[in-house]
Structure formats: structure tokens, C-alpha cells
Amino acid sequence: MDQETLVETERHRDEADESTEPNGPAEPAGFEAADAEPGAPQLVERKPVPSMHWKLWVRDLIIAAAASVLIITFLYQPVRVEGISMLPRLVDQDRLFINKFAYHLSAIERGDVVVFRYPRDERKSYIKRIIAVPGDRVRIDLGQVYVNEQALSEPYVPEEYRDTKSMDPLILRPGEYFVLGDHRSIASDSREFGTVKRDLIYGKAAFVYWPSRDVGVVH
């Protein structure tokens, strides 16, 4: 029986006690008054109701825990950023969720921030930005990236993080992706280790959850 019900029950009992004559015989607890006048307070038997709140709380906790495990296992996975190649958006030691299911429903697009197994050592994982997709022609001229001969606008790369490196034209074959770090002057990316195969990409960066100063959607 919850606290609110208990208070209300005690209040009715007090009212019933006050309505009894001072010298009159007391009514047996648990039974109605024999000759109660219409409208007069009546004494009724009160049966204890066992509380189920703790059982419901445990049930809800188990359901929530199971749902969290399923979501993390099949949809989202927490990862930790190591390094500064994705500054300014992602900082060293940031914690974020990646969506492992996103690319089962939609294609990988230019501008996506993805997590993939490092082509030269698949035991390691890298996080970079997709710059070009299969069939694209990409080149770099003194730091300016061109995709299909169109200069790429990159607002996510601040001026102080740019460099003046160049790269000869490259046409991406089916299943190949060209990735770059946002901190161009220090990033190890496709300019160094080449393109990334589709089967190495296993998640899309979704949301930074820690620390609080960096919380937000990853663009």
C-alpha cells in the first residue's frame, strides 16, 4: 500500500473515531456499525494489500538493461577517440556512439565520418571523413581537394588545420573509399595508406556523449 493511500485510510479512521459518542461502546474493529444512520461514517474491515512496487521496479530495470544491451550490440557501439587527426570536432579521448547498422540501410556518402579497420593492420580502428566514393576522381592541389574536378568546400577544416600537400589524380574502383582527417596537416589518411575497402568500414560516427563540452551530433 503506497504512502498516499495509507494517509487517506488513517484520515477516515480518525473521522470515524470522532463520530462515536465519548461513553458509547466501541465498535469491533473490522466490522460495519450495526445501526449506523444514513450518511454516518462506517467502520469497514480493511484488508492489507501487499505492495508490488519493488517487483515492478525490478521488472522495469531488467527490461531496460536488456534493451540497452540489444541496442548497443546491434545498433550502436561506444568508442573512444585516440589522437587529434579529427580536430576540431573530435578531440583526443572523446567518447562517442557509432551506428553499426546505418550502412545496411543507406549508402556511404561523401562527408560521413566513419570508423573502419586500418588497411595495414586490421586489429586497429581509425576514424576519418569520407571524401570520395566509388567511381569518383579525386586529386589534391596544394591542399585544395578536387572531386570530379570540382573544388571541395570543406567548412569542417579550419584554416589553421590546412596544409599545402598535393596528390596525383586517383579514380576510385568499386568498393573503394577515399578518406581524410579533418586536421590535414597531421592526419594519417588515404594520402598515406591508400583507399579503404567497403568491408573494412563498420560504423558511422553518430553522437559524442563525453566529455560534456563536446556532447553533440557528429557532422
CA distance 113 to 103: 12
Sign of CA dihedral 77, 81, 87, 91: positive
Q: State how beta strands 144-147 and 176-180 pair.
A: unpaired
Catalytic residues: 85, 128
CA distance 96 to 80: 6
CA distance 85 to 91: 9
Q: What angle do CA 176, 181, 184 make, to 5 degrees?
A: 125
CA distance 34 to 26: 11
Sign of CA dihedral 162, 166, 169, 170: negative
With cell 573509399, the residue in question is: 177
Give the closest residue to 180 by CA, choosing from 171, 172, 190: 190
User: Residue 114, Cβ neighbours under 10 Å: how many?
Assistant: 23
